[in-house]
Structure 1
């Protein structure tokens, strides 16, 4: 997939990442606190092994947005969104919502996905707003529950992570909502 979507993002290319995007993705995440920075190796794996559930956005050939996700092995009907990063210069354009929507649109039409999940720390108001407004716009129910508390992180001085789950009110498959 490589295409330009809607007029508000006409200067941007949305696509699945490729292996060679790994380092640029790592640099983008590094520039986006409070996101947790993983090893560069992980971003190479996401750009290759998990490319079908990740999206990059490029402007003039430079990655300015990245969304990583995967289907949970123990819950294959749940698409777990891991990280969403937007370069500071590209914020405020609705790019995070556009990436999430593009990812959902490119999932197989016969996907059994009934849930979109992610974890968000209590201080990350931008991500909370992203998922709340996405749920509202698409008529989805959003549930928030405790997931990982500070004690689980030991000495890392890491905030708790709450589990956000978006789904249809009747628990039906989600792909028809985005086709």
Structure 2
């Protein structure tokens, strides 16, 4: 067992004891927005968009709930229309008090397993900015755990964004996945 697999196994054990994995509900949108805002890394969308996300893309997204049922982590995704075998992961974030325990990896594994079973996906796509080392590690470790190839290429150059100084968004393609 690799160190990444051991960390994830430990996180799964803790997760099963103190968290529940669930489909997001519209009433979770505000908490998900706050977790994204407080990450200080993610591009923050409008609070309205998180409500819509929970309503329209709940089947391809997950939340982790604490003992009281409050969202403490989330992963949002969608099936890419032009590539229906690919799950696009939009955002992954963990509340600051819960970081460093492998919860993002647990959510990512659970989401892809569920969507693979329900929709037959065989690939995962996401974008990561060059300065987001946590996301780079998360998706690199995910590919390694699943024995899948990881390809990277710039999807959107920083100059395409209206705000100055936006870094490029690097597309990570992971696959083929087998479950």
CA RMSD of aligned residues (A): 1.5
Q: Which residue of 2 aligns with 1:85?
A: 93
Cα offsets for 1:109-159 (capped at 9, x unmatched): 363322100000000000000011111111010000111111101334211
* Partner SS, residue 115 of structure 2: coil
Large movers: runs of 4+ above 3 Å: none
Q: Does the CA contact (< 8 Å) of 2:72 and 2:95 recur in 1?
A: yes
* Partner SS, residue 154 of structure 1: coil
TM-score normalised by L of structure 2: 0.88
Residue 136 of structure 1 is aligned with which of 116, 128, 144? 144
Cα offsets for 1:89-123 (capped at 9, x unmatched): 10111001100111122225363322100000000
Count of residues in correspondence between the two structures: 167
TM-score normalised by L of structure 1: 0.88
Distance 1:6 1:157 in 2: 38
Distance 1:155 1:104, change over 3 A: closer
Q: Any unmatched runs of 5+ in structure 2? A: 1-10
Residue 73 of structure 1 is aligned with which of 69, 72, 81? 81
* Partner SS, residue 125 of structure 2: strand
Q: Any unmatched runs of 5+ in structure 1? A: 169-173
Cα offsets for 1:33-85 (capped at 9, x unmatched): 11011011110111111000011011122211010000011111110000001
Q: Does the CA contact (< 8 Å) of 2:128 and 2:135 recur in 1?
A: yes
Whose helix fraction is larger, Structure 1's or Structure 2's? 2
Residue 57 of structure 2 is aligned with which of 50, 53, 73? 50
Distance 2:44 2:27 in 1: 18
